[in-house]
Structure 1
Amino acid sequence: MSETLRVPATTYLQGSPPWLLDWLEEEDQPLPRLWFADETPQTEQQVQGFEIDRCPVTVGEFAEFADSTGYRTDAERHGYGLVYTDTWVECPGASWRAPGGPGTRTDGYEDHPVVHVSFPDANAYAGWAGKRLPTEAEWELAARGTRFRIWPWGDQWDGSSANTAETYAGPLTSLEEWRKWWLAAVERSGPMPRTTPVGTFAGRGDSAFGCVDMAGNVYEWTATPSGLYAGATACDPSVRMALGRYRVMRGGSWMNFRYQVRCAERIHGDPSGWSSFAVGFRCAKDAQSE
């Protein structure tokens, strides 16, 4: 089982301050300001003490769970998982056992984060392990601490501290540049996730509380239903459609730009069985009484 780290009870301001959206708008990145608006306004959160896994759940750890319980993921039962080629597709046969689709395997990937896990899959593993999924407030606190940080290690981007698309393609400033990189990668080796072993960036990319891979590698499910910090916040229409229906995911992944792997960045996933080759999870639990 993964090492767990203790986060003490505290109060902090969750979300991004107004200047952060101004900064994003000025940066050389392709997404509109409205895309990030659901990170605002900052909201005071009182968080009880908890423990959180240092690393995302790995392929090897998930295999132990599946082998000991006979559990079949939603992707296995449905017969497909979401994979990006030149668009998102329901790839027949894609699952945590075959993350790029038929003919792909996880041999040699045992220490990589598991992917193609749905929200119910993540909860099933967490229950088996005697844990639970972290709330969104817990996840962000573990990632950045009580002081606002853009990334887990601080406010200056460091490409050697996280596994993102820029790890492979260099600095990216447009969706077209990203697309060119990804299509070339698919042509060379198929649509396999470009995950890295958990802890690859330990030391450089550690969070305020010592967690690793909280920026990039895989998106991570949280237990929190999608909602706005303030109901009147103007946001992207796709976010508005998710409210009250989806669950928040955090951390960004190996296929994202630096701006999408920030501590406060939010994305929303369908909890009814949806999974993809860029989504995993880590677990948490209530702190033990001392």
Structure 2
Amino acid sequence: MTSAALVDIPAGRFVMGSDQHYPEEAPERHVDVPAFQMDASAISNAAFAAFIADTGYVTSCERPYDAGDQSALPDVACIPGSLVFQMTRQPVRLTDPRQWWTFVPGAYWRCPEGPGSSIEAREDHPVVHVSCDDALAYATWAGKALPTEAQWEYAAAQSSPCDPKLNIWRDAFPYRHHRVNGHPFTVPAGAGQPSGRGLSNMLGNVWEWTATPYQASHAKGGCCATPETDAPSAQTVMTLKGGSYLCADNYCRRYRPSARIGLAQNETAGHIGFRCVTRAA
């Protein structure tokens, strides 16, 4: 079995949430968190490939979707595929994520930009195009679990949004990027300087699934998530944390521990991954 190194996270109390940023982060409240262990980095393509090889598991975006469950996706999304980010050629209205998200038939974790693409030379990058269901399946196989939102935010509390090594969008989103002209926008899961707790890329790079349902009382995630509609969904909406390579100061400043978005548990996109936790040894 291939797995990330585990980092001990001691028990403690912290202030969860924020009253100073996006409305869905409020209210601030004190939360006690028992000790646990967390993967030092997001699950990599190599680790996920080992899971697939051992189990034969088929991910959410490799199966035809139920259009009623995938309310945020166009009708074409009833066929296997996933949402892929594409840079625009010029400035666009930042209120419509459909300007830069495209549903690509055949896109999945092994072909992240669709047919013809691959994870070759990206084995150490975080796996993407995985749903919460996929992440839970991996965690069960690995003898671990997904972190709760409280565990994730507590573990990330020593990660600084001011770290210049964060993999976020540092130019004019979504048409000009400081580092690349196209894919891949991710960096290796363990890249950059680990936080004070020894965890890499808790902020930026990829959004990470948690085991906590997203409360309907909070505002919608929007931002660099995926296109939204008001159509009902049969799927539970789950909480993601940490921001991604699409977070930009001119668009989405969600590369902070308290930031959060919600997506249906079977939705996938090219900037979503996960890491696991286990009980303290």
Deviates more, 1:85-94 or 1:66-75: 85-94
> What's the RMSD between the two structures over aligned residues?
2.5
Write the deviation string for residues 167-214 of structure 1: whole angstroms up to 9, x where unpaired.
Answer: xx3xxxxxxx312226xx6xx54xx34110122202xxx323110100
1:89 deviation in Å?
2.4
**How far apart, in 2, do the equivalents of 1:213 and 1:178 lie?**
20
Cα distance change, pair 114–193 in 1 and its aligned pair in 2 (3 A): same
**How far apart, in 2, do the equivalents of 1:101 and 1:92 lie?**
7
**Is structure 2 residue 102 aligned with structure 1 residue 100?**
no
TM-score, normalised to structure 1's length?
0.76
- Aligned partner letter, 2:142: A
Cα pair 1:95 1:101 within 8 Å, conserved: yes
1:164 deviation in Å?
0.9
**How far apart, in 1, do the equivalents of 2:137 and 2:220 lie?**
31
TM-score, normalised to structure 2's length?
0.79
Question: Which secondary structure does the structure 2 equivalent of 1:114 belong to?
Answer: coil
- Aligned partner letter, 1:105: S
Cα distance change, pair 82–237 in 1 and its aligned pair in 2 (3 A): closer
2:246 paired residue number? 255
Pairing of 1:99-178 with structure 2 (within 5 A): 99-145=112-158, 152-153=159-160, 157-159=162-164, 161-166=165-170, 169=171, 177-178=172-173
1:72 paired residue number? 58
Cα distance change, pair 81–8 in 1 and its aligned pair in 2 (3 A): same
**Is structure 2 residue 38 aligned with structure 1 residue 52?**
yes
Pairing of 1:234-249 with structure 2 (within 5 A): 235-236=219-220, 245-249=236-240
Write the deviation string for residues 218-275 of structure 1: whole angstroms up to 9, x where unpaired.
Answer: 10000000127xx5x7x45969x7999411100111111152211111111110x210
Pairing of 1:210-229 with structure 2 (within 5 A): 210-227=198-215
Question: Which secondary structure does the structure 2 equivalent of 1:248 belong to?
Answer: strand
Tell me, which stretches of 5 or more residues in structure 1 are unaligned? Answer: 22-35, 146-151, 170-176
1:158 deviation in Å?
3.2
Write the deviation string for residues 32-84 of structure 1: whole angstroms up to 9, x where unpaired.
Answer: xxxx1111111121211111000000000000000111111111123101112
Q: Which has the higher helix share?
A: 1
